[in-house]
Structure 1
C-alpha cells in the first residue's frame, strides 16, 4: 500500500313487521354466503413482501492511537482468498412458498434468497435448489418460473453491469439430471456478491458493495459464508477487516473455486441496496441500521472515538485533492481555521491508501471539510456528533451533493453543512468567458448527459473558497459540536 499524505497548519322506536321480515331475509342470505365462502374459498397466502505527506512540524504517529488488538486468526493466512473449510451435516429443508424467491423490482439491486437443499456451482455461476414434489402450484404466481438470472452488484441499470458476471438461480426437481452432487457441505448460509463494478472508488466501494453486503449478511451474526464473484484480490485484501466483521469463515473466490458444488442450508445471491451509503432499519431483520454498520467499521479498523469532543481543541480535517476539485488556497484555509481555535490536519487519501490508516486519522476529527467527491465517503469513520462540511462546486450539482453525502450524513448521526462555490471562486471563471453556458446555464450542460457534466464540472474544476465566507461556515460547525465537550 502507498503511504498517504497528511499535513497540518502550525429523529328508537320498534320496527314494523315488514322491516323485521326484511332484516331476517338479509341475515339468512349473509349466513348462506358465509357458508359458501368457507367451503370453496381458501385463506389467501400472506407474502412478506494516499499518499500522506507529513509537514515538517507534524508527528502523526504520536497523535493517532494504534488500532485495538485483533483476536482473530492469523492475518497472514486471512490475507489470501482461500476456499472455505466449513463442515457439517447437510440437511434438506423444503423451499418455503410463503415468500418470493427473487426480488427483481428494486431500482438498484436484484436479490434472490433460497432455503433448503441449496447447491452453489461456482464454475457455472449457478445456484440450484431442490423443490418438493408439486411445490410449484403452491408458489406465488410470479415465482413459478424455473430460473432467474441476476448480476449480484448493486448498480442495476448501469453500463458497468456488463463487467459483472450473471448468475442463475435454478429450481429443479429431486433427481433432476442437471443437479450436481455435493462435494462440500456447509452448516452456515451463503451470500454471493460481486466486486466487478466501480470498485476502487471509495464511494462505490461503500455504496455499491460494503453497505449492501452488510444489509444482507449482518443478520447471520458472523455465521455466514461469503463467496466473491468477479474477484479482485487487491480489493478483498484492502477491505478484509470489514469482511471479517461480517463472516468468521474464510472467503471463497467463486471465480477460482476448486469445489464442484458447495451445499448450503440457505443462500442469498445479490446484496440488497436500500439507499446511498445507508441502511433502512425498517427493512432489516431485527431492525439493524447504520449505527451497527459504523460500529462494525470501528471494530474493523480499531477506531477509539465514538463521539466528537473530549479533546483540548476541536480538530478540523481537510480532505485534500490533487488532480481535480482541489482547494487552491488550502494553506490559507488552514491558517484561518486555526485562528478560530481549531487544530487543523489535511489528508490526501488515494486509491492505494491503506484504509485503516486513513480511518484512524479521520476518527480523530470533529469537523471534516472537503469538496464533493469520493474522499467525503470517509465520513463513515467520523465519531458521532461530528460535522461534515461539503463544498459543492459550481455547476448545479446540489442534487448530486444531496444524494451522495447530505442525506447519508444524517443517517450516520453526523451534523451536516454546505458551502456552495460561487462563480468567482471557481477555476471555471478563468477558463470560459463570462457569458458562456458553462457559467450561465449549467442545465444546458447537464442535458448533454453525465459524460459532459462530469468532464466540465467534476474533472476540470478547482475551487478557491472566500476565507471570510468559509470562516462563517466553520464557526457554525463549532456551534453544532456537542456543547461543553472540549477541555
Structure 2
C-alpha cells in the first residue's frame, strides 16, 4: 500500500510507515562507536487508519536488527491529526511524533490507548470500535489512571556510560514532568538493570514497572509516550525540556535519590596545610587499564592528594559507588564508561580524562568534556604518548598505528575499537603527568 500523508479530510484508508529508534540515540554513532551490545533493537511503528475496520489505529512495535549500511527510512509526522468520521461525527486522536531531532525519536499519543504486550501492539480505539466490540484482543483488562511511558532496555544497556546517556538521563527528561504520576512500560526487560537503577526508577515513578513483553492482558491509558526524549551526549538542553530542566537539576535529583552529602568540592586556601583534596582513580581490568596505578597514586600523594582507587563494574553497588564519587574532589581515569560516574561529583570538582592513542580525541571530548560543562565540573585532558601505550610492546615505534592512526580509522570502527580500545593499556609517565595533577590541585584553590 502506498505511503500517504494523513490530513483532517475524510479518508477511507491511509497508511504511514515510520521507522523509530527504541530510545533516543543516533544509531550510526552507536554502530560507529561500537560500545558493548548486540544488534541494535528498534521500534517499527505503523499508524494504520482503516475506515471500514471499525476505525482502529494500530501501532505495531516490532524489534528488528539494523544494519549500519542501511539508510534510515524516516517519515516525519509532526502534530498529525487522525480524524474519524462516525455517522457524521468526528472523533480526533492527535499523535505528536517528533522525528526531527538527529538523535531522538518519540511519539506522544492521547486518546483511548490500549497496549498489548503479547502482540507488541499499541492501539488507538475509536468510539465505534468500543461500541461494536471489534477485536476482543484489544479489550481493556487493566485500566490505568496515569499516563504511561513505553521504552526499551535493549541497545547498549549494561555499559555504564550508555546506561546514563541513553536511558537514565532521557528517562528523567521524559518523565520528570509527571512528578511520579506515570507508569513505566518496559520492553526488553532486564531484571539486573532494573535492580541496579531501582532507586532512580522509584523516584521517577510511584508505580511498579511493568515488563510489557510478558503481559497477556491489555493495559489501557489515556496518554502514552513511546520512546524517550534524548537531547545530547550525557546531558540536557534546557530549551528542549519541560519546565526548562537542566543537567544541574538532574544532578540535584541524583543527590536527593542517593542521599549524597556534598554539593561543592573542596576549596583550598594557602593557609590550609592539613586539608587534602580527595582524588579517585578509576581503574579497569580488561582494557585501557593503568598498569602502574601504584606509582600514579604515590605521585599524587606526594603532591598533597588523598588517593582512592576503585573499579566500577556491573557488580558494583551503585548507591555505595555514588557516595564514594561524591566524597571526592577530583576523578581521573582512561577514556571509558567508568568516567560517567562524574554525574555524582560535587559542583566545581575536576574530571581528568586520560586519552589513549588512536586519534579518538573527538570522541573523548564529546562523551565527557562537553557534558562536564553542563554539570558545573571542571575538565582537564591528558593525551598519552607512544611510550605510555602498551602497544609499544607489540609494534615498532615507526609502525603505522603510531605514525598514522587514520589508516586504521579508514578500516572502520571495528578496527579502531579492536586496536586502540580493546588491546591498549596505559603506563602513565608520572613525571609527564605531574603538571596535570598540579593544575587540578591549583584549580581547587579558585
Answer yes or no: is the 8 Å Cα contact 1:190–1:266 preserved in 2.
yes
Instruction: Select the residue among 320, 323, 331 that pairs with 1:368.
Output: 331
Answer yes or no: is the 8 Å Cα contact 1:113–1:269 preserved in 2.
yes
Instruction: Select the residue among 209, 215, 228 that pairs with 1:251.
Output: 209
SS in 2 for 1:237: helix
Determine the C-alpha separation between the residues in 1 that align with 2:424 and 2:226.
40
Cα deviation, 1:206-238, whole Å, max 9, x if unaligned, reads 111111111111111111001111011111111
Cα deviation, 1:171-204, whole Å, max 9, x if unaligned, reads x897582472211111111001111121111011
Determine the C-alpha separation between the residues in 2 that align with 1:273 and 1:382.
22
**What corresponds to 1:238 in structure 2?**
196
- Counterparts of 1:345-360 in structure 2, within 5 Å, are 345-360=308-323
Instruction: Select the residue among 119, 122, 126 that pairs with 1:127.
Output: 122
Aligned: 1:307 with 2:264: yes
Instruction: Select the residue among 158, 178, 183 that pairs with 1:200.
Output: 158
Answer yes or no: is the 8 Å Cα contact 2:391–2:424 preserved in 1.
yes
Determine the C-alpha separation between the residues in 1 that align with 2:230 and 2:397.
42
SS in 1 for 2:245: coil
Determine the C-alpha separation between the residues in 2 that align with 1:244 and 1:254.
18
Determine the C-alpha separation between the residues in 2 that align with 1:292 and 1:256.
34
Determine the C-alpha separation between the residues in 1 that align with 2:131 and 2:405.
60
- Counterparts of 1:35-74 in structure 2, within 5 Å, are none
Query: Which one scores higher on RCO, CA 8 angstroms, separation ≥ 6?
Result: 1
Cα deviation, 1:119-153, whole Å, max 9, x if unaligned, reads 222222211224679xxxxxxxxxxxxxxxxxxxx
**What corresponds to 1:440 in structure 2?**
403
TM-score, with length taken from structure 1:
0.69
Determine the C-alpha separation between the residues in 2 that align with 1:433 and 1:467.
23
* Regions of 4+ moved over 6 Å: none
Determine the C-alpha separation between the residues in 2 that align with 1:212 and 1:122.
22
**What corresponds to 2:142 in structure 1?**
184
| Closer/same/farther in 2, CA of residues 272 and 347 from structure 1, 3 Å limit | same
SS in 2 for 1:332: helix
- Counterparts of 1:420-435 in structure 2, within 5 Å, are 420-435=383-398
SS in 2 for 1:385: coil
> May I ask how many residue pairs the two structures share in their alignment?
350
Shift of 1:361: 0.7
**What corresponds to 1:106 in structure 2?**
101
Shift of 1:300: 2.2
Answer yes or no: is the 8 Å Cα contact 1:308–1:482 preserved in 2.
no
Determine the C-alpha separation between the residues in 1 that align with 2:398 and 2:358.
14
| Closer/same/farther in 2, CA of residues 310 and 95 from structure 1, 3 Å limit | farther
**What corresponds to 1:264 in structure 2?**
221
Shift of 1:101: 2.4
SS in 2 for 1:124: coil
SS in 1 for 2:280: strand
Instruction: Select the residue among 211, 220, 240 that pairs with 2:169.
Output: 211
**What corresponds to 2:344 in structure 1?**
381
Determine the C-alpha separation between the residues in 2 that align with 1:374 and 1:315.
21
Residue range with higher mean Cα deviation, 307-316 or 425-434: 307-316
Structure 2: segments with no counterpart, 5+ residues: 1-90, 269-274
Determine the C-alpha separation between the residues in 2 that align with 1:393 and 1:205.
23
Answer yes or no: is the 8 Å Cα contact 1:241–1:300 preserved in 2.
yes
Shift of 1:323: 1.8
Aligned: 1:416 with 2:379: yes
| Closer/same/farther in 2, CA of residues 121 and 391 from structure 1, 3 Å limit | same
**What corresponds to 1:295 in structure 2?**
252
After superposition, the CA RMSD in angstroms is 2.0
Determine the C-alpha separation between the residues in 2 that align with 1:205 and 1:95.
37
Determine the C-alpha separation between the residues in 2 that align with 1:435 and 1:177.
73
Determine the C-alpha separation between the residues in 2 that align with 1:469 and 1:119.
62
Higher strand share: 2
**What corresponds to 2:413 in structure 1?**
450
| Closer/same/farther in 2, CA of residues 192 and 399 from structure 1, 3 Å limit | same
**What corresponds to 2:285 in structure 1?**
322
Answer yes or no: is the 8 Å Cα contact 2:333–2:353 preserved in 1.
yes
Answer yes or no: is the 8 Å Cα contact 1:319–1:346 preserved in 2.
yes
- Counterparts of 1:465-480 in structure 2, within 5 Å, are 465-480=428-443
Structure 1: segments with no counterpart, 5+ residues: 1-93, 134-171
Aligned: 1:343 with 2:301: no
Cα deviation, 1:342-378, whole Å, max 9, x if unaligned, reads 1110101211111111111111110001000011011
Instruction: Select the residue among 353, 356, 366 that pairs with 1:390.
Output: 353
TM-score, with length taken from structure 2:
0.75
Determine the C-alpha separation between the residues in 1 that align with 2:241 and 2:215.
30
